[in-house]
Amino acid sequence: MNIIERIRLSIFPGAHKPAEEQKGQRKYFRSLLLHFRPRVVPERTLRFSLTWGLGGMAAVLVFLLFGTGLMLKFVYEPFPDRAYDSILHLQQNIPFGQLIRNIHHWSANGLLVIAFLHFLRVFFTGAFVAPRQFNWIIGLALFAAVILSNFTGYLLPWDQLAFWAITISSSMLEYIPGVGTWLQESVLGGPELGPTTISNFYAIHTAVLPALLLLIMPFHFWRIRKANGLVIPRLPDEETETLGEKVNTIPNLIVREVAVALVLLAVILVISMLFNAPLAAKANPGLSPNPTKAPWYFMGIQEMLLHFHPVFSLFIIPLMLVFGLLCIPYINYQSETAGVWFCSNRGRRMALIAVLTSIAATVTGILADELIIGSVLTGPPDIISSGLVPIVIVLAGCIGFYIFMKKRFGAANNEAVQTLFILLATAFLVLTIIGIWFRGTGMRLMWPW
Partner 1 sequence: MTNPHPQNNNPEKESASSRRSLLTKLWVLLGIVALAELIGIVFAFLKPNPKKSSAADRAAIIVAGPVDTFQPGTVTAFVRGKFYLVRLEDGGFLALSRSCTHLGCTVPWVAKENKFICPCHSSEFDIRGEVISPPAPRALDLYQIIIENNVLKVDTNKRKKRSEFTAGQITYPKKT
- Count CB neighbours of 347 within 10 A: 26
Peptide bond into 80 cis (omega under 30): no
Q: Return the range that interacts with partner 1 (CB under 8 A); candidates 224-232, 287-295, 361-369, 424-432.
A: 287-295
Euclidean distance between CA atoms 94 and 204, whole angstroms: 26
- Judged by CB under 8 A, the residue of 196, 199, 252, 276 near partner 1 is 196
Query: What is the DSSP-derived secondary structure letter of residue 41?
Result: E
Residue 310 as a binder of partner 1 (CB under 8 A): the answer is: yes
* CA distances for 165 relative to 109, 113, 323, 419, angstroms: 16, 19, 27, 33
Q: Return the range that interacts with partner 1 (CB under 8 A); candidates 15-23, 61-69, 305-313, 331-339.
A: 305-313
- Judged by CB under 8 A, the residue of 95, 177, 178, 191 near partner 1 is 191
Nearest to partner 1 of 196, 228 (CB atom): 196
- Judged by CB under 8 A, the residue of 14, 24, 67, 190 near partner 1 is 190
Residue 168 as a binder of partner 1 (CB under 8 A): the answer is: yes
* Minimum distance of partner 1 from residue 381's CB (angstroms): 6
* Minimum distance of partner 1 from residue 291's CB (angstroms): 6
3-state secondary structure 235-269: CCCCCCCCCCCEEEHHHHHHHHHHHHHHHHHHHHH
Query: What is the DSSP-derived secondary structure letter of residue 412?
Result: -
Q: Return the range that interacts with partner 1 (CB under 8 A); candidates 128-136, 165-173, 317-325, 393-401.
A: 165-173
Residue 286 as a binder of partner 1 (CB under 8 A): the answer is: yes
Residue 289 as a binder of partner 1 (CB under 8 A): the answer is: yes
- CA-closest candidate to residue 304, choices 388, 355, 378, 362: 362
Euclidean distance between CA atoms 127 and 253, whole angstroms: 19
Residue 167 as a binder of partner 1 (CB under 8 A): the answer is: yes
Nearest to partner 1 of 303, 415 (CB atom): 303
Binding residues for partner 1, total number by CB under 8 A: 33
Phi, psi of 234 (to 5 degrees): -150, 165
- Judged by CB under 8 A, the residue of 384, 442, 447, 449 near partner 1 is 442
Nearest to partner 1 of 91, 160 (CB atom): 160
- Judged by CB under 8 A, the residue of 287, 322, 371, 403 near partner 1 is 287
Q: Return the amino acid letter for 280.
A: A
- CA-closest candidate to residue 230, choices 122, 343, 141: 122
Q: Return the range that interacts with partner 1 (CB under 8 A); candidates 76-84, 144-152, 189-197, 344-352.
A: 189-197
Nearest to partner 1 of 385, 413 (CB atom): 385
Residue 95 as a binder of partner 1 (CB under 8 A): the answer is: no
Residue 85 as a binder of partner 1 (CB under 8 A): the answer is: no
* Minimum distance of partner 1 from residue 190's CB (angstroms): 5
Q: Return the range that interacts with partner 1 (CB under 8 A); candidates 30-38, 140-148, 245-253, 279-287.
A: 279-287
Phi, psi of 345 (to 5 degrees): -60, -40
Nearest to partner 1 of 194, 400 (CB atom): 194
- Judged by CB under 8 A, the residue of 13, 218, 244, 285 near partner 1 is 285
Question: Residue 41 region, left (φ>0) first, then alpha (ψ -120 to 50), else beta?
Answer: beta
Euclidean distance between CA atoms 278 and 189, whole angstroms: 26
Contact between 188 and 196 under an 8 Å Cβ cutoff? The reply is yes
Peptide bond into 329 cis (omega under 30): no
Nearest to partner 1 of 273, 377 (CB atom): 377
Residue 172 as a binder of partner 1 (CB under 8 A): the answer is: yes
Q: Return the amino acid letter for 77.
A: E
Contact between 419 and 405 under an 8 Å Cβ cutoff? The reply is yes
Peptide bond into 191 cis (omega under 30): no
Q: Element (H or E) spanning 95, and its range?
A: none
Residue 306 as a binder of partner 1 (CB under 8 A): the answer is: yes
Q: In the window 359-418, what residues touch partner 1 (CB under 8 A)?
A: 377-381
- Judged by CB under 8 A, the residue of 231, 264, 305, 416 near partner 1 is 305
3-state secondary structure 153-165: HHHCCCEHHHHHH
Residue 170 as a binder of partner 1 (CB under 8 A): the answer is: yes
Peptide bond into 448 cis (omega under 30): no
Nearest to partner 1 of 238, 382 (CB atom): 382
Q: List contacts with partner 1 (CB under 8 A).
A: 164, 167-168, 170-172, 185-186, 188-192, 196, 285-292, 305-306, 310, 377-381, 442-444
